[in-house]
Each structure stands twice: as C-alpha cells, then as structure tokens.
Structure 1
Amino acid sequence: MSLRPVQVNIKAVDPPAVARFWARALGWTAYPGETTYVGPTGGLRWPHPTAIGIDVVGVPAPVAGTRLRLRLSTGDGPTLTDPEGNEFPVRDGDPTPVSAITLDCVDPRAMADFWSRAIDWPLREVTDEHAVLRASGPSLEFHRSPVGRTAPDRLHLDLLPHGDTTSAAEVARLRDLGATDLDVGQGDDVSWTCLSDPEGHEFCVLARPRSDVAEDLSSSTSD
C-alpha cells in the first residue's frame, strides 16, 4: 500500500495538558516540539509498525467537530472525555492502547469503499450501520449517523506516503477517488496537503517521514 495512517491529529487550546493526558492514559510518551507527538515509549518511530500515534496541535480557540474518536479498548463500555472534551469509549473504565479509530458518517458503505481504496486496507465487516477496515494495529471503523459535517473537525487522520510513491502522486490519486482540496488557512508554504473525503472528513497527506527528526525529539521526552 502507498499510504499509511500514521497519526491522529488533535487540535487543542492547551496542547501540553492534552498530550500529558493521552500519554498517561495510554502508557505512552509525549515528544514536545513544534507540535507534541504522543506515541509508544522507546523513542519516536514514525510511522510505528503497529500503533497510530497522536499529534497535538495548538489552536487559539476551541474547534467544534468531534466526528472522529479514538476507542481505547475492544467491546462496549462507558464513553469518557479528555481535558478538552474529546470523547473516547473504553471498556469497564480501563483505558488500553488505541484499538480503533471511529468516524461518524451518513453512509458507512460508501465511506468504507473510499477509505479501503485510499489506504488499501481490507474490508472486514460492512452493513448499512457499520463498517470496519483493518490491516495491522488499530482498525478504522465507520458508524452511521444521520447528521453530516456541520463544523470543522477537532480530530483528523494524517497519512504518510511510503515506498516509491510521492505525496503529489498520492494526492492526485485521492482526488480521482473523490477527495477534494480543503482550505483550513494552512497557506501555500506547508509541507502537507489538506483534503476531505466524500463526506467532508478532514485528513492530511504528509510530504515526508519524521524519521529525520526522530533523534532530536527522542532526546526531549516528557511523560
């Protein structure tokens, strides 16, 4: 596959507090920098072979949308919130490493079809109410909701090209699949491309791996 989900981006008014929460909840490590990456302890590995990390980005004011959530266990259980109100279901109140990334959508079948072709993950389950994609690590799940996108999302996926492909080639392929360009005020000088899927879920295609900065970030970790 040519694109890999490597992190969930969380927009936060207080990034250090949100990053500390997720690092402690998951037993991971927070790597401060221009943004704060939260991932498994043992040094920054980006992309990680089995985990999808969390990248906490500062914003000046709260962002409304919460259609993407992290599930911290398998099975059904209570839904909790982090310090800025981001919901995450757990089982028996006992958080475990991220087991699923869930998205609310109007048409789970159509969303699963788009995302399966986008990231080449096989379809494991599909009904009119629910669909699941899974390769290794967390699954990507789609749950039917009658309400479409009404506000910018607080959380979104970041995808990383790998192998012989380039970000420009992958962005062009995604547009052919039905993705559209998204202007969130990023300007023209950023190294990533903001897109939205056919139902308006925001996501980004990153231009380069972070392996070249892993050593610097690993030397300045915080729990």
Structure 2
Amino acid sequence: MEFDEVILGRRSIRGYKPDPVPGDLIEEVLRLAMRAPSSYNSQPYYFHVITGEPLDRIRAGNVGRIRDGHPDAREFRTGQPFAGAHRERQVAVAKQLLGAMGISREDAQGRDEWVLRGFRQFDAPVCIIITYDRLLADSDDTAFDCGAVATALVNAAWSRGLGAVINSQGIMQSPVVREAARVPQDQVIMKSIALGWPDMSFAANTVVSERRTVAEATTFVGFED
C-alpha cells in the first residue's frame, strides 16, 4: 500500500477470522514497527506475542476476575477519568460502535457482552503485549516511545492485510497476563494489541472513528503574511 492508503484506510478491528497468523509475518510487522523513533534511541519496549492456549488462559482469567469483582490491576498510570471534550469523543465512538452492532442503550446484556469482548482480546488469534523496562517507569518519554511503536505496529499490520486494535482492557488484570505471558518482573505491562485477519462481516469493523480537523487541533505561529 501507499503510505496515505495505510493511514487513511486503517481502522481499529474488533472482529477477527479464526485463521492463524504466520509467525514470520508478525516478525516482519514488528521489524517495521521498530523503526519508530524513541527518545535518544532508547527503544525501551518489549513485545510478548501470544497465541493458542496461553492466550486462552489470559481470556479466561481476565473475564473470570472481572466477573468476580476484582479491581483494575493495570500497571501504568491511567490518570483521572476523561471529562469535557475528551469524554464527549469517547462517548461518540462508543455510540458509533454500539450502533453498528445494533446494541441499544436498554440492552444491558448486549452491552456487557461487548465489554467482555475487550477482556477477551476481541477473540483475536494473536495478542501482542507491550512492556517496558521498570527502571524507566518514572520517565514520560518511555510512555511516549511505547505509544509511537504501538502506532507504527498497527499501521504496519494494516499494510500487510492484518487488522489490530490497541486495547487496555486486555491487560486490565495484569497478574493474569504476567503469568500466562511469562513477563519478567523487571518489565511493566503497558498495553495489549489484538491482531489477526479482519472479519469484515463483523459490523463494528466498518466504523471509522471521527477526527478533529487540523484547524481545531493546530496553532500555526510565524506563518502570517
């Protein structure tokens, strides 16, 4: 694909075909993603690529702990809940997704099942857990660098015909993930990315989230006539 096709065509995929993804293709995607810039070329990230029985254990553990009322156990800072315009954008994309799936506001069971899909890594055949060195945990550059490589990863995947979605629900119960993925204690679990072949018959995969205009997000200084 041309660069513009990747950037403008990519969307977050939440429904996948069950077909396996070859390991060498995932390695190719990671090789591309790792060209993302990082602070002083620190490259603080690690990738834990999971499929099969270990991934099934993560799905079951996530869902079981949520149903049992375990609190959020993510390891990275989440800050305050979104408010104002940020919350409005969050609600807007949720409405787009639920509307595409035909899940009404009154359908409590349907809404609960939709949330649980996130804890199940959207039933994708592959999950990539991004972690970083614990000794860098106090550096905002580290979170920035992990975000950069995650963005590069989902775009690289799309360029190869794969779909992905960056997902915090999948690592909300980090003890489950750490055990099943064998994440070392000197690494912090940052994000998960569901990965696989897109099932374009899955209605939510047609959703393209809205973006602010350049004018709304940008201030130009020194360009005046």
TM-score bin (small chain)? under 0.3
If each structure's helix is expressed as a fraction of its own residues, which one has the higher value? 2
If each structure's strand is expressed as a fraction of its own residues, which one has the higher value? 1
Q: TM-score, normalised by structure 2?
A: 0.25
Task: State the structure with bigger RCO (CA 8 A, min sep 6), 1 or 2.
Answer: 2
Q: TM-score, normalised by structure 1?
A: 0.25
